[in-house]
Amino acid sequence: KPRYYSISSSPRVQPERLSITFAVVREPARSGLGEYRGVASTYLAGRQAGDDVLVFVRSPESGFRLPEDPAAPIVMVGPGTGVAPFRGFLQARAELKKQGAGLGEAHLFFGCRSEADHLYREELEQYEKERIVTLHTAYSRMEGKSKTYVQHLLSRNAAEIIRLLSGQGHLYLCGDGVRMAPDVEAALMQAYRDERGATPQEAADWLLALEHEGRYAKDVWVGK
């Protein structure tokens, strides 16, 4: 059975090369006996430069790609390795800007345990300095601070998000589909209710309409 990974680079930067972003899974086995090691992640972590790896490229069916219009606003939510496709998005936006394209607003909601787990930090902060994106980072295991997750940051920025998505904005969600994705969608619907005085059903219909319009795309995975 193939293991799918999101490409975390843009062909606009390196047409003949791509990167993937993954976490090596090593944790106590559910049986209580020994250690479980992720099959694909452990295999990839053991490769050396120059090794051959059997892969194929597959276009996502979810429409998980940047809007055709670079001026369309985008809201990206991707904690942990869920940041992978958004790194590619930002690389592409940086190249488009160099070519003179006018870029719409872009917000990236990223989450990790601590600063030590902050993937691509320097690269992302440079993109923020270049006004390619506005970063919102949630740390869930910072000593002396309360746990903060991406859904909390979404709630704090509710007015801005609803404003963007009520226009021509696009929403993207990547990562854990078991807990994170439902929590994020709940926060978004609550934000819509708060900002528009909507009922729970109206908020659910709003989010569903975004998906039907092709302005909400998900790339989530569910562990067994």
Has 6 been annotated as catalytic?
A: yes
Given 8, 10, 176, 219, the catalytic residue:
219
Alpha-carbon distance of 50 to 76, in angstroms, equals 33
Residue 69 designated active-site = no
Contacts of residue 53, defined as CB under 8 A and 6 or more positions apart, other chains included, come to 44, 47
* From 6, 8, 9, 10, the catalytic residue: 6
**Residues 12, 76, 219, 52, Cα dihedral to 10°:** 40
Q: Residue 51 catalytic? A: no
Q: Are 74 and 172 in contact (CB under 8 A)?
A: yes
- Asked if 112 is an active-site residue, the reply is no
DSSP states along 63-102? --S--SSTTS-EEEE--GGGGHHHHHHHHHHHHHHHTTPP
Catalytic residue, chosen from 9, 10, 174, 206, is 174
Set 117, 140, 155, 221: catalytic member: 221
- Give the span between the Cα atoms of 7 and 85, in whole angstroms: 6
Give catalytic residue positions.
6, 174, 219, 221
